[in-house]
Amino acid sequence: MNDAEAGPRHDQSPDQSPERAQARAREQARGREPGQRRVPPREGGDHRIAAGFATGDEACVDAVFRRWGPLVHSLAWRALGDEREAEDVTQQVFLAAWRGRRGYRPGTAPGGLAAWLSGITRHKVADALEARTRRVRAADAAAAHHPDALAHPGPGTGPEQALDRLLLLAELARLPSAQRRVLCLAFYGDLTQAQIADRTGLPLGTVKSHMRRALGVLRLALEPSPPARR
């Protein structure tokens, strides 16, 4: 009996079956080896990531932040010279990019998504510098309204204490207006929390919450940073 008369062989390897061969050919035609996992958009090229970002693909949104986040942060830090402000600007840039993603046209803008994000970064940096100027002016105005603490320091105080005072005023100017008002009434008006609630019309619980959050922000801002490890 020859092989043709013997019928189909049952010892044929599954990898050699016609179905497996067809699957192998389909996977190779798609550009990947058999059994290789599908490559998600975030692992593709920049153009693919940008195109997915423009359509709101969540994997591409994550990839955009990983791919260009360091660039945006570096631009912000070089312009502002402040790590905290650079981090804030970086978050603002990607939030603005997400909200305005439909305005981005992949493949049409010179420089691609990197140039588009850099443009948003420049605008956000300009906003941050303007806000910084406003804070300085607010601190100057606060110092002008309370000059005695600087011009006539009490016993045991000197230039370092005066500088601390200016730093406090500057940080106060950075607080949200509601928190700043509550703290100023407590510090400069010498009012209790209950009196502040009566003065502002805010619930006592809200006053306490504003005080707690504002003091926490000031504590983090004014505490000396630990020395860097070598």
Do 113 and 91 lie in a common domain?
yes
Do 201 and 113 lie in a common domain?
no
Least confident span in 68-82, 160-174, 205-219? 160-174
> Where is the domain boundary, 137, 170, 196?
137
Q: What is the dihedral of CA 174, 178, 183, 185, to 10 degrees?
A: 130
Kindly report the CATH number assigned to the domain that includes residue 213. Answer: 1.10.10.10
Q: Would 192 be classed as within a structural domain?
A: yes
Cβ neighbours, 10 Å, residue 124: 23
Contact (CB, 8 A) for 106 and 50: yes
In the chain, the largest separation of any two C-alpha atoms, in whole Å, equals 117
pTM of the model: 0.45
- pLDDT recorded at residue 230: 44
> Where is the domain boundary, 116, 137, 158?
137
Domain that holds residue 102: 39-137
On the question of pLDDT at 82 being above 60, the answer is yes
- Give whole-number Cα distances, 11 to 7, 8, 14, 16, 181, in Å: 12, 9, 9, 10, 85
Do 120 and 167 lie in a common domain?
no
Confidence label for 111 from pLDDT (cuts 50, 70 and 90)? confident
Contact (CB, 8 A) for 138 and 95: no
First CA to last CA distance, the chain: 83
User: Taking residues 37-47, what's their average pLDDT?
Assistant: 51
User: Taking residues 89-115, what's their average pLDDT?
Assistant: 81
Confidence label for 21 from pLDDT (cuts 50, 70 and 90)? low
Q: Would 16 be classed as within a structural domain?
A: no
User: What sections of the chain are H helices per DSSP?
Assistant: 18-29, 46-54, 58-80, 83-99, 112-145, 148-151, 159-174, 177-187, 193-200, 204-222
In the block, tokens 């941050």 appear at 128
Domain count, the chain: 2
Q: Would 34 be classed as within a structural domain?
A: no
On the question of pLDDT at 139 being above 80, the answer is no
> Where is the domain boundary, 90, 110, 137?
137
Do 171 and 205 lie in a common domain?
yes
Do 72 and 118 lie in a common domain?
yes
Q: Would 71 be classed as within a structural domain?
A: yes
Mean pLDDT for the chain overall: 71
Do 152 and 213 lie in a common domain?
yes
Least confident span in 110-114, 124-128, 197-201? 110-114
User: Taking residues 134-148, what's their average pLDDT?
Assistant: 57
